[in-house]
Each structure stands twice: as structure tokens, then as C-alpha cells.
Amino acid sequence: MQALGIDIGGTGIKGAPVDLSTGKLLADRNKIATPQPATPEAVTEVVRQVAQSFGWTGAIGATFPGVVTSGTIRTAANLDKTWIDADAASLFGKAIGTGVTVLNDADAAGVAEMTFGAGAGVKGVVLMITFGTGVGSALFTDGLLVPNTEFGHIEIRGKDAEKRASEHGKVSHGWGWKEWAERVSEYLQHMEALLSPDLIIAGGGISKESEKWMPLLTGIRAKIVPAALLNDAGIVGAAMAATANVAAR
């Protein structure tokens, strides 16, 4: 079985068809810069372009960087605030001409990793953290997803944690790997104190450079591993949601 996965981020919107039996992309992914301002109309048009680029007519799933309930957006920290209470599933579906399942971006990445990647077969508490424009989170207990955790927005030093721990924060402040790793360590220490995870999976675009910063992390007891699917995990999880409806609540 195949489905198209589209992963919406604060800086880029990317998609590809996915083989749902293996989690492999069936074509090179198409990535288009996230429009600014990232309004519902502008983002929907890019989502349509990505789907159209593959000539896709089958099942489609899409992620969103915020809380999503039954296809409706509840928070939009890194996209335009006019997304709040918008029915993304209907907007995308009308633009593309077929049904679209929408779920939180980190949840999608986590579902993919738990099925095909670093979390496959792992019991207990697994926490996936995605480092990108913001910080996303996906929490699993014995393989079951607790949706829409959005732990990137816990407060550390009076600010959203993602202001310091995101890849965007690293780039915008000009931090080196050691400086950034210190901030990621502090964030993960907070998460460990709250959740006591057995495994932490680090995803997002910066996961492909894990050897540069993971050895610098300190003060964390849980095992930490990079996402096996790297930054394709969101696409794969979105495609899985299109048929398995993991976003249903």
C-alpha cells in the first residue's frame, strides 16, 4: 500500500509518496519554502503544489507544527496565528480534491520511528524530540501515542524551551555545537525529570549531524539515539496517518 505524506514546517513544506510496508520513500521528496506570512491560504496552496507535483490521487496525510484535533488546528507557534481553529483537513482536501488526514508533525515523526525506526519494538516510555524551527515532541507508552504533547513549549528560564533548544535558536544566536548542546542538555534534563523516559529519540533536520552534538549532551540518564529516518520521519508518519488514521481521537 502507498500513500503521499506531506510534512509542513516553519521553514519548508516537503512531501513524497511512501511505501507503507517498508516506510521507504518511493520518489525524491519535493520541498518548497514555507510562504511568509504562513497563512492558511498560502500554506494550502503550497500543499496543493506538492501533491500536484506527484500527480497524486490516492490517500494523503499531512502534518502541522501545532496541536491538531480531528483535523482542526488549535495552536500555531511557528506559523501564522490565523491558523488557530482553521479546519486544515477541509482546506487541504478542497484544494487537492481528495481527503487529507492531518496530525501534529512530531507525532507523525514519532509514529514512523516507532514503526520503522529507532523505536521499533521498544517498550516502556519513549520520547521523541524533533529539533527544527521549533521543538516538537511525541510521547509513547508501550508503543501507544499520547497525542499533541507539544513539550517544546514548557518554560525554561522564563521562555519557551524551543527558543533555546531548537535548531533555529542555534542558528539565530550563532551558537557552536557545545553551546547549543548545553541548552539541549538542560531541556532534556527537564523532560527526563517530568517523564522518566526509557529512550529518547532525537529527530528533525539536525539529527543528520548527531555525531557533532549528541556526545556533548550531559546529565541525562536515558538512552539517547538519533532518528533512523532522520528528517523524512514526518513524511512517513503523515503517509501512515492517511490510511491508519493515527490522528483519530
Rounded alpha-carbon distances, angstroms, from residue 62 to 83, 106, 162, 187, 242: 15, 12, 22, 28, 8
Determine, yes or no, domain membership for 249.
Answer: no
pTM of structure: 0.95
Question: Do 63 and 129 reside in the same domain of the chain?
Answer: no
For residue 57, the one-letter residue type is: T
Q: How confident is the prediction along the chain (249 residues), in pLDDT tens digits per residue? A: 999 999 999 999 999 999 999 999 999 999 999 999 999 999 999 999 999 999 998 999 999 999 999 999 999 999 999 999 999 999 999 999 999 999 999 999 999 999 999 999 999 999 999 999 999 999 999 999 999 999 999 999 999 999 999 999 999 999 999 999 999 999 999 999 999 999 999 999 899 999 999 999 999 999 999 999 998 999 999 999 998 754 333
Measured distance CA(200)–CA(40) in Å, rounded? 33
By residue range, what is the domain housing residue 90? 2-107+232-244
Domain total of the chain: 2
Residue 173 forms part of a structural domain: yes
In a domain, 73, yes or no: yes
Residues 89, 146, single domain; the answer is no
CATH of the domain at 182: 3.30.420.40
Determine, yes or no, domain membership for 97: yes
Residue 47 covered by a domain: yes
pLDDT at 70 (0 to 100): 96
Residues 157 and 98 in one domain: no
User: Would you give the DSSP letter of residue 35?
Assistant: P
In this structure, are 125 and 203 located in the same domain?
yes
Residue closest to 205 by CA, chosen among 174, 226, 184, 187: 226
